[in-house]
Structure 1
Amino acid sequence: MSEIVNRVAQSSIISLDLEEIYPKEERVVFDLEPFLFQGLVLREKDFRLALKEIDWLQYKNKWVAVLCTADAVIPNWAYMLVSTYLTGIAKGYAVGSLKTLEVMIVEECLSQLDLNSFQDRPVIVKGCSNFPIPLFAYGRIVSLVQSKAKSIMYGEPCSTVPLFKKPKS
C-alpha cells in the first residue's frame, strides 16, 4: 500500500483564510444622542463634563462606532473629542455606522498583509468561515493580491472556483 501524499500542502499554493486574520473582538456603538440638550443641540460645556464622567474602560479592546442616532446637526469636533478618549483604550474606532467600522477594520487588517509573499504564487481565498467576514473583505483582498499573484481562486484547495490567472508574458 502506498503512502498518502498531501500534494496541496507540498505545493506553492497560498491558502488565505480571512477568518484567521480578521479581528473577532466585540463591536459596540458610542451614540452622541444621549448628550443632546432637548434632543436637538450639543452644548459643548455639558458635553465635555459628561465625557469626563464616563468609565472609558468599558470600551477596552472593543471596536467602537462613534455616531449620533438622533436627527441633529453634530459638529465635527464632538466626534473628534470622543475619539481622544477612545484612543489607547479601544481596539479601534471609526466615526460612522457599524458598517463603516467594519470597512475600517477590513482595511486595517488587510494593510498588515505582506503582499510580496503572494508574488507569482497561486492563491486560494478560503470560502467557509465560522465568523461573519464582510463581503467587502473578499473584494478588497482581490484588489490587493491580483497584481502579485500568479492566480486567485476561491473555495477550498480540494474544490476551487478560478477567479484570475495572470497572463503569460
Structure 2
Amino acid sequence: MSDGFEIKNKVADSGLVNFDLEKLLPKGKRIGIDLKDFLWEGIILKEKDFREKVAAISAEEFSNSYVYIFNSAEAIVPLWAYFLLTAKITESARKIVYGSREDLEMVLMHDAIQQYDFSEMSGKRILVKGCSDENIPENAYIELVERLKPIAKSLMFGEACSNVPIFKN
C-alpha cells in the first residue's frame, strides 16, 4: 500500500496449522449390496439360487467403488455367503465392508487416518476445522486426537476466529 500501512494475516503469521479431515475422505462411488436381494422370497438363502445370483453379478459394476454389504431382511445368512459375494467383487472394488453406509465411511476414515503421515505436524499448533461439506464420522475426530496428542504442541477445534482449545503439551 502506498500510505505505509500493511495488512497482516495474523492467522497465517501465527504458525497455526489448519487441518481439515475432509481432505482425507477418499473420493469415489459408494455402492450398497443388500443380501435380501439374493434370498429366495427375501427371507431364505438357497445355496444354488444364491450362487447363481452371485455368478450373474458383473464385477465391473463395482470397479474402483467402495462397497458396503448389508442385510435388510430378518433372515439368518451363513458367513460363507459373505465370503462368496466378496470373492466375486474383491478384484474390482477398492474396499468392501459389512455394514451400513455409515460403517463404510467410518472404516474409510480410519484407514485414511492410520495411513496419513502426521510427522510434519510434530511440535506444531494444530487447528482442526470444525465445519465440513462432507459428513465426517465422529469416530474420525476421536482417532485424530489419538494420533495428534503425542506429537502436537497444541490442538484446537473450530475456526481460527472461534475455536475450542482441546489440549496443550
Contact 2:24 2:109 survives alignment (8 Å):
no
Q: Write the distance in 1 (CA, Å) between the matches of 2:13 and 2:51.
A: 59
TM-score, L = length of structure 2:
0.87
Which runs of structure 2 are paired with 1:71-86 in the superposition (5 Å)?
71-86=74-89
Does residue 35 of the first structure (1) align with residue 38 of the second (2)? yes
SS in 2 for 1:50: helix
TM-score, L = length of structure 1:
0.87
RMSD: 1.8
- Cα displacement (A) at 1:11: 4.1
* Deviation larger for 73-82 or 130-139: 130-139
SS in 2 for 1:130: coil
- Cα displacement (A) at 1:74: 0.8
Post-superposition CA distance 1:18-50 (Å, at most 9, x none): 111212423221011121124333222322221
SS in 2 for 1:152: strand
* Deviation larger for 34-43 or 91-100: 34-43
The structure 1 residue matched to 2:129, chosen from 107, 126, 135, is 126
The answer for the alignment partner of 1:145 in structure 2 is: 148
Does residue 48 of the first structure (1) align with residue 51 of the second (2)? yes
- Cα displacement (A) at 1:73: 1.0
Post-superposition CA distance 1:25-84 (Å, at most 9, x none): 232210111211243332223222211211222222222111111111111111122112
The structure 2 residue matched to 1:101, chosen from 89, 100, 104, is 104
Aligned residues: 166
Q: Write the distance in 1 (CA, Å) between the matches of 2:158 and 2:43.
A: 50
Which runs of structure 2 are paired with 1:14-29 in the superposition (5 Å)?
14-29=17-32
Question: How many percent of aligned residue pairs carry the same amino acid?
Answer: 38
Amino acid at match of 1:47: F
Amino acid at match of 2:71: C
Contact 2:105 2:137 survives alignment (8 Å):
yes
SS in 1 for 2:115: coil
Q: Write the distance in 2 (CA, Å) between the matches of 1:12 and 1:82.
A: 50
Amino acid at match of 1:163: I
